Structure 1
Amino acid sequence: MTKQTIDFDLNAAIAGTEYDEMIMSVIPGYEAMHQMALACLRAKLSDEANLLVVGAGTGMELIKFGKGNSQWQILGVDPSQKMLTIAQEKIQQNGLSEQVKLFPGYTDDLPDSSIYDAATSILVMHFIPDDGGKLAFLQSITRRMKSSSTLILIDVFGEKGTDDFQEMTSLVKKFWEETEIPEAKKVELLETMDKGVYPIAETRVLELLQQAGFGKVMRFYTGLWVGGWMAVKDDL
């Protein structure tokens, strides 16, 4: 992983200790996006596949994917030790210790010999500025993937400063009312969006994927300002 601008061990808008409690209320369709990501992976992978989860966090996708196919070998990568501690507890509680492993750090820190049949990046890249960082992030994943392997990318998307993004922000605020997010937390989340989240238009997402070596891109999920894309690494 190329380093993101928010340290989830120190000053995240949703700290590791409360992440699981809050995230389903904060992110539109949080559970549904993971179910759809799993469906995409099942459609593309054999039972013997190995999967790289970039930005494993507290382990939502690790557990979801591990239970989704008991034979997949999964590595979760994340720089947040606090979140990985929570993820490790979940792995043990669900009896997945032999199937799911954790790596503290970034994708670039992985051995060059580590090559995967698929990779996922769920709610990670939008924390990285589009100053070369997003492309470097995707390229770091590309280098760890086999030819014709599948990438699942899910992020907040849209172009800040546009009327469309402003209207979408209003819709998300209404969504937070429905999920009963406290007012103080709404203010904190919007401040984080303003200063520490770097969404980009879908056209830019597609451009970056192409530059990083991916083709056959399909958007499989939309939940207000969250989008999910499936892409295939080009043959070398």
Structure 2
Amino acid sequence: MTKQTVDFDKNAPMAGSEYDEIAPLALPGYEAMHQMTLACLRAKLFDEANLLVVGAGTGMELVRFGKGNSKWQILGVDPSENMLAVAKNKIEQYGLSEQVKLFQGYTNDLPDTPIYDAATSILVMHFIPDDGGKLAFLQSIAQRMKSSSTFILVDVFGEKGTDDFQEMISLVKKLWEETGITEAKKAEILETMEKGVNPISETRVLQLLKQAGFGKVIRFYTGLWVGGWMCVKN
């Protein structure tokens, strides 16, 4: 997992304990994107499978996936000690400690053996600059996946500085008015977007997935500036 421009231990846009409260408000369709991701995994995986969750964060998807199928063995990878502490508490709370394991670090710190039947990256890659880092990130995941396995990527997407992206920001701001995010928190999120988030166009997303060794890509989710793609490791 390539290093991110936002360090969620040292300069996090929000505390780990606050993330679970703010993220569903700030990101359009937060609940739906996770539901759809689980549906995609259920459609593609056998009852017994090894699942890699890259950028496990506070563990929302770890718990959801673990509860979604009790026979899946899940490894959550994240560099943030603070975020994983929150995830660990959730895993223990839901009695998933035997099924869900945690690894503090990056994907390229894991063994190279391709043992995973599926992998997910939800709201992670947009923190990585497109200077070779995004491609290396995707390649590090692909390297650890079995042939024909399923990969799901969910990210903020679009090209900064374009009229379309500015229009999308305007729509997101209106959504935030409906969800009750404070003006101060709106400003913080937008500052993080400007300084620490590196979205790319869908065309570029598809190009990078192909270069990393993925094919049969479909977009299964769109929530304003958030997109979700499902593909297959070649």
TM-score by length of 1: 0.98
**Distance across 1 between alignment mates of 2:11 and 2:114:** 31
Question: In terms of mean alpha carbon deviation, does 11-20 or 47-56 score higher?
Answer: 11-20
Task: Kindly report structure 1 stretches of 4+ aligned residues shifted beyond 2 Å.
Answer: none
Question: SS of the residue aligned with 1:186?
Answer: helix
| Partner residue in 2 for 1:135 | 135
Q: How many percent identity over aligned positions?
A: 80
| Partner residue in 1 for 2:188 | 188
Question: Given the alignment of the two structures, is residue 144 of structure 1 paired with residue 144 of structure 2, yes or no?
Answer: yes
| Partner residue in 1 for 2:14 | 14
**Distance across 1 between alignment mates of 2:203 and 2:150:** 20
Deviation at residue 114 of structure 1 after TM alignment: 5.5
Deviation at residue 115 of structure 1 after TM alignment: 1.8
| Partner residue in 2 for 1:209 | 209
| Partner residue in 1 for 2:33 | 33
Q: What code does the residue aligned with 2:107 have?
A: T
Question: SS of the residue aligned with 2:11?
Answer: coil
Deviation at residue 10 of structure 1 after TM alignment: 1.7
Question: SS of the residue aligned with 1:219?
Answer: strand
| Partner residue in 2 for 1:226 | 226
Q: What code does the residue aligned with 1:109 have?
A: D
TM-score by length of 2: 0.99
CA-atom RMSD, angstroms? 0.7
Question: SS of the residue aligned with 2:102?
Answer: strand
Deviation at residue 113 of structure 1 after TM alignment: 2.8
**Distance across 2 between alignment mates of 1:29 and 1:82:** 25
**Distance across 1 between alignment mates of 2:210 and 2:14:** 32
Question: SS of the residue aligned with 1:181?
Answer: coil
Q: Deviations over 1:68-118 (max 9, x none)?
A: 000000000000011101100000000101100000000000012352000
Question: SS of the residue aligned with 2:208?
Answer: helix
| Partner residue in 2 for 1:93 | 93
**Distance across 2 between alignment mates of 1:107 and 1:115:** 13
Structure 2 residues without counterparts, runs of 5 or longer: none
Deviation at residue 147 of structure 1 after TM alignment: 0.3
Question: SS of the residue aligned with 1:187?
Answer: helix
Deviation at residue 208 of structure 1 after TM alignment: 0.2
Q: What code does the residue aligned with 1:50 have?
A: N
Structure 1 residues without counterparts, runs of 5 or longer: none
Q: What code does the residue aligned with 1:144 have?
A: R
Q: What code does the residue aligned with 1:17 have?
A: S
Q: Deviations over 1:144-181 (max 9, x none)?
A: 00000000000000011111000000000001111111
Question: Given the alignment of the two structures, is residue 55 of structure 1 paired with residue 55 of structure 2, yes or no?
Answer: yes
The equivalences for 1:146-165 within 5 A come to 146-165=146-165
